[in-house]
Structure formats: C-alpha cells, structure tokens
Amino acid sequence: MKATKLFGVAVALLLVGAACTPDKGVGAPSSTNPASSATAAASEPITIGLLTPLSPPGDPAAGQLIQRGAELGVVYVNTVMKGVLNGRQVQLAVEDDAGTPATGATGYRRLVTEKKAVAVTGQFHSSVNIAVNEVANEVGVPVISTQGSAADITAKHYPVAFRTHVIDPFRASSWLSWIQQKGYKKIALIAETSDYGIGLVNETKAQAAAGNMNLTFDIEQFDHASTDLTPQLLKAKAFGPDLVINIGVGAPADLMLDQANTIGLYPAVPMLISYDTPTRAQWFQLHPSDGVGVYFIAYFSPKQELSDAGQWLATAYQAKYNEPPIYGALNAFADVIVIAQAIQKAGNTDAKTLITTLEDPAGYKGWAAVPVTFPKDGAGAFYHTWIPPILILQYTQANQNWRDAKLDASFSKK
Amino acid sequence: MLLGVDLQLLSQYVIAGLMIGVLYALMALGVTFIYSVMKMINWSMGQFYMLGSFIQYLLVVRWLGPDLWFVALPITAACVFVIGAILQLVLIRPMFTGGVERRDEYATVITIALLLLLQSLATVLNGPDEHTPGSHLPNLTVGTLPVSGATLAASLGGIAALILFAVLLRRTWVGLALRAAAQSRIAVQTAGVDLMRLDMIAFGIGVALAAIAGALLAPVYLVYPTNGAVTTTKGFEIIIIGGLGSIPGALVGGLLLGLVEALGSVFIAPAYQNAYGFVLLIALLLIRPTGLFGERLRAA
C-alpha cells in the first residue's frame, strides 16, 4: 500500500516535471528516423539553440519575449528564406538558463552535444552569458548574445562570442551624456551585485572620471534575491541625489521604484531605469500611480526604419500575439535569421567556418534597416558586437503605450 | 550622530528592521510550529507563501477589490489551510501510518518534491509575469520612517495573526492538544487524542500562517511564482536562531534577524544585507548550538 502510494506520487511528479520542461524543439517537423546516410543527413533539419531565462531567479518575462522572437525567426527562415543549404529546414531547441550561470553552462552543453545545435543564441543575463562563453570557447560552437550587456561577454575576444546588444561602455557613455545635458551633478547608482550591475557601476564611474565630468556618486548595491531595498534607498536619499539610476533586473527594478516612491525619494528625484522593462505590457498594472514620469532606456523606437525582415516580424508578431513586438523579440528574431544567413553563406554548418562567415564585413540582414556586422577588429568589448541605438524615453501619462512615450534623448554608436 | 551614523537614519533603519522582523517571524512560525507537533521540517513552506499571495491577488483583483483586502485575508488563509490539510493527508500521513523507517528522509524528499511541484505548477499556470493586487492605503510616517500603507497593514496584520495564533494555542481545546503533542506525541495518543487528525490540523495551520504572510505582503513585494524563495531562506535562518520547534524562538528570531539586517546595513553596508543574518546564525551556533530557545534532546 505504502509502495503503491509512493509510486503514485513519484509518477505524478514526473508527469508534472515533464510538462514543465521547456526543452522542446520547435520549427521543422521532428525526424523519427535518425540519419543513417549522407542523403538523410543532408535533409535533416538544422538546429539552432535558444538558451534564455524562462524561470526565476532569471527574468522569465524577458526570456518569453526572446523565445517568441526566435520562434518567429525560425518561421521566417523556413518560409520566406525557404530554408538554408538547398532547402533544409531550421528548428529551434530551447533550454532554460534560469538566469543562473551554472544552469546556463549546462544548457549550452546540452544544446550542442545532445541537440546538435550549430549555434546558440538568446542570452539575457550577463552572468549567464559570461559563463556560457567560457564553455563555448572550449567546445567551439558560436554564441550570439541577444541581450547580454556586460563588457566581458566580448571583451575577452573569444572567437565564439558574438553580440547584437548594447554594451556597458556604450550604455554608460549614453546616460552620462544625458546626465550632462540635464545638468545633474549628484547621482545615486543603486545596482544589483551581478556582472550587469557591477559592470555598469564601474564603467559609469570610470568614464565620468576619465571625462572630468565633476559628478558625485553614491553607490548602493543589493543582492538580486532581495525584496526589501529600503536600506539602500534610505542611504541614497540621505545622499541628496539629483538622479537615481535603477540598475535592477526583473522584480528588483519594480520593487525599487515602488519603495523609492514610498520613502519619498521618487518622484521628487527623477529615476532612470537601466533597461527597457517599462515597455512590457504589465508596467502600468504594476505601477498604476508611480509608473508615470520614470525615465528608461530602450533600444528600439517605432519611428525607426525596419528592414523588410523586421517588418515581416512586426506583422507576424502582431497577428500571433495581438501586440506589437518589443526589442527583445526583435533582437532574438534577428539573431536567428543572422545565423541562418551565415549558414547559407558558409555553405555548411561547420562551427569554425560559421564563425569566420559571421565576421564577414558585408554583414547580415537583421531587424533594423542597417545590416548586422560583427567586427573582428573591434576594440575591447566592441569586438564581434553590433550595437543598436540607445533611446531614453519617459512616460508622461498613465497607461501610456510605450510607443507614445516621450523620446528624451537618443544615442548611436558612431 | 552615533559612530558616524545620522541618528534619524539609524532610527529609520531600526523601525524598518522591526517591521520586517514581524513578517519574518510570521514566515518562520509555520515551519517551527509544524516541526514542534509533527517532528518534521516542511521544506515547501515558501510555496505556501506563494500560494497565499496568488489567492489573495485573485480574490482582490477578480472579486473584492483592493479596499476589501482584509476580507480576502481569512479566505486566503482558509483556502490554504484546506489545501495544506489535503496535501498532508495524501503525502505526509503515510509517513506515520505506513511504518516508514526513515521518517526524516521521507519528509525531506516529499516536501522538497512538493516545493518543486507547486513552483512548477505556478510557473506553468501563471507564466513569467509579476502581479500586484494593488492597495488604496495611503503612505504614512512611523516615527521618522515613511512607509506605505500596505507595508504598515502587513506588519499590523502580522501582529494580529501572531496574537490570534497565540489565542488559538492557549484558549482552545485544539490548541491544548497541539501543545500537548509538541511535548509528547505518545502521551497525547495514550490520552485518546486522534493524533493523525491533529497532525492534519497542525500542518494546515502551519501552511496557513505562511499563506497569511504571502497575502499580507502581496501588494508590497509583488506576486510571482518564486516569491516564496525568500521566505524559505529567512524562515530557516530564524528557526535555527530561535531554536527548532520553539514558538517564542521564532518570534524573537524574526525580530532579531530584522534588526541585525537593519543595523548591519546602516553601520557596514546595505549590499550585504542578506549576509548579516547568516553571520548571526553562525555566531549563535558556536555559542549556543540549540538556538536561543531550543532544548538539547536526550537520546536513549
């Protein structure tokens, strides 16, 4: 009786566990007959790996947007591009990195060794991305970072490491330029103790010092798992800042805004959120009273010109999800179609050839009107990195669509 | 100024620390209460906190509205009590009725499995989004500290829940039986009390306490599938500080943890806020391994 009950429980848990596992390929139909000949192998679908946060402590909302974009990228390759290498279909193998470096590194290995992914994309958390790159540098299969911004992701000049996202030095230089435009002098940087948070704090301080900007900083840091940021905010308030920069990712970014509002720090002192989390649909559900007035970084404006592929995505995304795509989805879409174009150009899926081909200065079609290029002569973190523009937007009224938010400043990498 | 710290800032930290300490105590109380009666640790306590926050959110957003949050609170507690009682009946009771040899291992495995099950189910059903039930309570000032109405309500609600729990234990027959079971399960059974039923009630009450904490904090710390993780960490820190199975220990441990985190933040750095509790825990284990109120067990 006891054994029966235990067995029943175990089966139930296994079933639920299986249902919750995101490790499912999407795109091309699955093959029931493993390749047994060159002909069969040539018709097998090509797998692109997607490694992204789909559960906490990562930021699963970001991961979900990335997954949506990547899935539509596969549809684009298989329908509009008619596949690659004489019509071979492309499929996506998905792994959840949970925002955890160790899980990410394991996920990358699984994608490459078990799923036979020829390239991996989708990284959001810098810490995960850095850990994955270490493994990738041994294994040799390229990684295109979708939203990892820490300098170290590409600054180590690993041949396998590519990126299509803003990097810390550019993000820091952009908000420092904006700070100068606004005339702010005392800046409170409240950052999580991750590669992203620490990297941005260090970069901001270094650039401000190098540029003799005459700024004073108060640095407050917190663990990503923290829920009560009152101690950090009280110290920042006592500092008397002109501006608070919110360098939290996921729930901490939301909690910081609310708790700063409670203690009277914000909106008395303006707040800049370090990434585009306010563009998500639930922003004003979470912040009905304090969501207005906040400044935030974004990487895409509806007023920007899109490539034909970007326009295809905008239409397909709206049709499928009944909302316009935001940057995370656009970038993941672009990463998948860039990989597909590189495979097509290389003529095979060999990792070394693919890396060399991705470095082609002619570049590849992405979501923006300008081509995506990965300069191998880029200095420091600019190596193998394509950078979208940085926009600083501000909500000026409640329940405003982010597309209508005020464009306060924009910066492009020259 | 005290040791270079502004006294107003210090007083704000102390108030904030005590307020969060009350909620920490509530989070830990369920774990230690279940242990005291059933002699097992429920590792899935954080998931009942999460469940409480989700039920509160649904009740407030779908039916009652933010002004009737206090009506939703007992409903949430009752729902989680029932869920806990059913789970105890199905998953935990075989530990006592089936002649399981290694009860501790069984309890650990089954409650960790429950943790994963509830967390995965919440992720699948909810998706990755965060929610808030919202609050119409105005911001207030406690001493020198500006606090949100929802935070103050959570702290006061936490104190009320602790008082109700104490009344339940001290003034009711069930409370008497639960206290007796905490002292000696064999004696209670000998006296004719249905111990299996008592275990079910204890488990239900324990998880309902965590759910009340989740419901009270839903408008403050947001609602998402893993919001109970902090509860698990802090809860276990507190029960080790206070002494495993000691209800006064959970109360004192919660307040002490809140204060230590606050004072560490103001005198050292807020960046290590979560580490100060562990420093306290290690120091205490060196001096008093059984915790503040724990008692050394005598083995036969």
Return the beta strands (E) in A53-185 as ranges.
Answer: 90-96, 120-121, 143-145, 161-163
Q: B9, A223: Cβ pair inside 8 Å?
A: no
Total domains, chain B: 1
Which helix or strand (DSSP H or E) is residue B25 part of? helix B7-38
Q: Which residue of B has its CA nearest to A255?
A: B221
Beta-bridge mates of residue A51: A95
**Residue B158 confidence (pLDDT):** 87
pLDDT at A205 over 80: yes
Chain A residues 229-258 with a CB less than 8 Å from chain B: 230-232, 234-235, 238, 251, 254-255, 258
Q: B261, A231: Cβ pair inside 8 Å?
A: yes
Instruction: DSSP for A1-33, please give it.
Output: -HHHHHHHHHHHHHHHHHHH-----BSSPPPSS
**Residue B227 confidence (pLDDT):** 85
| pLDDT, tens only, B260-293 | 988 888 888 888 888 888 898 899 889 888 888 8
Give every CB contact of residue B171 below 8 A, 6+ residues apart in sequence.
Answer: none
Size of interface A-B (CB pairs under 8 A): 123
**What residues of A are in contact with residue B230 (Cβ under 8 Å)?**
225, 227
Chain A residues 143-202 with a CB less than 8 Å from chain B: 193
* Two tokens, residue A394: 């501000």
Q: C-alpha distances in angstroms, A368 versus A279, A319, A334, A374?
A: 18, 20, 9, 15
Tell which residue, A321, A344, A301, A300, has the closest CA to residue A80. Answer: A344
| pLDDT, tens only, B173-188 | 888 988 888 888 888 8
Instruction: Average the pLDDT over A79-91 and give the result.
Output: 94
Could you tell me if residue B266 is inside a domain?
A: yes
pLDDT at A35 over 50: no
Q: Which residue of B has its CA nearest to A220?
A: B271
- Residue of B127, B134, B270 lying closest to A232 (CB–CB): B270
**Residue A57 confidence (pLDDT):** 76
Q: Which residue has the higher pLDDT, A55 or A344?
A: A344
Beta-bridge mates of residue A47: A91
Chain A residues 34-73 with a CB less than 8 Å from chain B: 54-57, 59-61, 63-64
Q: Which residue of B has its CA nearest to A19?
A: B124
Q: A2, B99: Cβ pair inside 8 Å?
A: yes
Q: Which residue of A has its CA nearest to B106?
A: A6
**What residues of B are in contact with residue A255 (Cβ under 8 Å)?**
221-222
Q: C-alpha distances in angstroms, A318 versus A36, A314, A315, A321, B54?
A: 41, 6, 5, 5, 30
Domain coordinates of chain A in residue numbers? Answer: 2-28+42-166+306-383, 168-298+391-411
**What residues of B are in contact with residue A286 (Cβ under 8 Å)?**
130-132, 222
Tell which residue, B261, B256, B264, B250, has the closest CA to residue B294. Answer: B250
| pLDDT, tens only, B40-77 | 888 888 999 999 999 999 999 999 988 999 999 999 99
> What φ, ψ does residue A183 adopt, rounded to 5°?
80, 20
pLDDT band at A13 (very low <50, low <70, confident <90, very high): very low
Assess if CATH 3.40.50.2020 describes domain A2-28+42-166+306-383: no
**Residue B100 confidence (pLDDT):** 66
Task: Find which of B5, B86, B221 to mutate to test the A interface (most A CBs within 10 Å of its CB).
Answer: B221
Beta-bridge mates of residue A202: none
**Residue A414 confidence (pLDDT):** 60
From A383's Cα to the closest Cα of chain B, the distance in A is 32
| pLDDT, tens only, A296-319 | 999 887 777 789 999 999 999 999
* A1 touches B: beta carbon within 8 Å: yes
Task: Give me the CATH number covering residue B85.
Answer: 1.10.3470
Chain A residues 309-328 with a CB less than 8 Å from chain B: none
Which of A51-55, A212-216, A333-337, B254-258 reaches the highest mean pLDDT? A333-337
Could you tell me if residue B64 is inside a domain?
A: yes
* Superfamily in which the A168-298+391-411 domain is placed by CATH: Response regulator (3.40.50.2300)
Range of the domain at B277: 7-133+146-287
Do A2-28+42-166+306-383 and A168-298+391-411 fold alike per CATH? Answer: yes
* A6 touches B: beta carbon within 8 Å: yes
ipTM of the modeled complex:
0.81
Could you tell me if residue B140 is inside a domain?
A: no
pLDDT at A176 over 80: yes
Could you tell me if residue B109 is inside a domain?
A: yes
Q: Which residue of B has its CA nearest to A62?
A: B128
**What residues of A are in contact with residue B123 (Cβ under 8 Å)?**
20, 55, 60
**What residues of B are in contact with residue A63 (Cβ under 8 Å)?**
128
From A275's Cα to the closest Cα of chain B, the distance in A is 17
pLDDT at A230 over 80: yes
